[in-house]
Chains A and B, each alone.
Chain A
C-alpha cells in the first residue's frame, strides 16, 4: 500500500478511493418525533411506548416541532438550503422492529439540501459536500438472545427522531472519512442536538465505497458497508474494503454492487445475503402528515440562535491565541473543552500554557473519567481557574512543571487554590543556591562512576545526575539551576 504522506489521498496500484458517508444521528429531543413518548436512551424495554409508536390500528403521527427546529439547526450549521416546503414519505418494508410496516422518512422533498462540511486532515482544511439532511423515525430493537426459541422486540427506540445526513462521494481516504465523521459529530454536539455516541448507536454510519483509476471521473461499482460501530472501525473497514476492491479488479474479476457488513472481530467486510437488502421500498408521500412548511422567519430565528461553530472557533483560536492548527483543532472539537480553555485564559493563564494543560492533562482526565460520554460536561472535576492558577505558577517559575503535574490530581473534586497549597506545603521551586549546593555535592559523592564518565566527556550522564538531585529535593529544585551548579561543580577548573 502506498499510503503516502499524511493527508494525501489514498491510492493503491493506480487506483483511488471514492467514499460517501451516510450518517444517522439520533436527536436529543425530550419526546419522540411523532408522539409524546420519552425519547430517552435505555429504560426497561417497552416502557417508553404508546399506541402511536407501537403502530396500533388507527393511530396517526403528529410531528414534534422541536425535531424540525433541530433539523434546521443542523442544516444551517452545514451550509444547507432549508426547503420552505418539504414532505414526509413512507418507506415500506417488513421487519419486526418496524411496527407500522413502514418508516416515516423523507424522500423526494427533503428538508435540507446542498450543504458542505469543512474537515481538517493533518492541518489541511477541505470541504466535503452534503447532499441532503432529512428527518425520519428510528425503529425498535430486535433482541435475539434473551429467550430460547424466539426473539423479542423493544420499542423504546421506535419513533426516536433521527437525522439522516447524506454526504457527497467527496471523500478520498479512510483518514478523511474519520475526519469527516469527527467534524460532523463535533458540529452536532456544538448544536446540542445529538450526543454523538457511536457505541450506543446515537451516531451511526454507513459508507458507500468504490475505487477507480487515479484521474478518472467515472464512478466504479459501489459497495455499501454497514455495521461500523466506532470511528476506528470505519477507518479500518474502509481500508480493508478498498484493498479488497483493488485486488478484485486486479485479479480481472468484476465487483458486485452489494451491501457488506464489517466484522470487527475478524477485521473484514462480508457480503450480506442478497435477500436481506433486495428491497423495493415503495416510497410514497405520507398521507397522514401535511407538507412541512418552514417560514423564512423561523429559519432566521434558528440561525440567530446558533453558537459559534467548531470551524470558526478553530480559526479564531489560531488567530487570536496564536495556537498551532493542531492544538486549535484538538481544543475546538468539543465545545465544552474549548470553553474550558477560554475560561482558563480569561482567568489569567497564558494561552499556549493553558492549551498545553488542556490538550494533555485535562483531555486525559476527560477520557479516564469517561466525561466525553456526556453531551456537555457541566460538572468539571477541576475548574478552569484552578488549571489557570497552576499554569501561572509554572509560568512564573514558582513551581516546577513536575510539581504542578503532581498537584493536579489533588485538586480534583476540591475547590482548593493551588497557590495556597504550594505556600502551605512549601512546594515552591527551590532556587536557593546554598540549599541546592549541598544536594549537588551529596550526589557527586554518591555517584563516582557517573561523575567519572561525565568527566571523560559523556555529556548525557548529566541528565542522570540532574535527575538524582531532583529526586533528592522532592522534585522541587529548579532544574536549570541544578544543571548550572552540577556543571560548575564538575568543571575541570574546580577539579581537586
Chain B
C-alpha cells in the first residue's frame, strides 16, 4: 500500500475546486438553516439552477460569460421566490418537504427529452467553458505547489473557487454581525416573537433563502466549469445530504464552520477510499471487492454524521454554550 500517495491524494482534496463548491453550498445552507432556521433540503437544486442558467444562456442564447453568470444568479433568485412565497408563511417543516420535492422536479425537468434541445436531456450540456478558460491569466505550464503540481487551468479554477469562497464567507460574516443578521437569528429562535417586535419576518426569510441560494448557485457554476459539463444526475439528493454533512461537521451557525467542514469531509472521504482500496488490494479485507469500497465509505460517512450529531451537535466550530440550554 502506497501511504504517501494516499495521503497526498487526501491532502489535495483540501484545496480542490470540488471542496470549494461544497463549501459555497454549505455557506449558503448556513444562512438558511444555521442563522435563519429554514430547513432547506434542496440545496443541490439551487446549485443546479445556477449551473443550468449559466450553461443554457451561453449555449442557447449566446450570452457572454459574465452575463450568463448574472442570468444564472437571477434564475436562482427566482427559484427561491417560487419556493419561498407559498411555503415561508407556513411552518418550517413544509419548506423541507417542498424543497426536497422541487429539487427532484427540477432534476427530472432537465432530464426530460422534450427539453433536450435546450437542456441536453440526460446527456447534459458541454462546451460552454471556452470563454471561461480563455480568461485564464496564468501562463500555460505546470506549477508546483508544495507536494502538488497543477496545470495552469487547474490552478486558475482553484484560485477562482477559493476566492469566491472567501467572498461568500466575508459577506456572511459582515451580515451576521449586523442588525439584519440579528433579526435572522431571532427568527430562528421564535418567529412570532420577532413579528411581535415589528419585523417583517416573511421578507427576511425570503431574503435569507435567496442569499443562501445564490451562494449555492455560484458553487454550481464552478462545479460545471470544472467538469466542463452539466448533467442532471450530478444534482441528486445525495449532493444535498453531503452539503448538510459538511455544514453540520463544521458548525451550522458559524462562518468558518462550512469551510473547515468541507475540507475535513473531503479529506476523510479520500482517506477512507485510499486506505480501504489499499487494504482490499493487499487482500486484508477478503469480504470486500474494490467497487464495494466506494459504497462502504459513504456508509462510514453516514455513521460519522450520526455520531457527530449525537456527540458534538454544535460541529467543530459551534459554540458549545449555545447548545447546552437547547432543550
Partners in one complex: no
Give A contacts to B, CB under 8 Å: none
Which B residues contact A (CB, under 8 angstroms)?
none
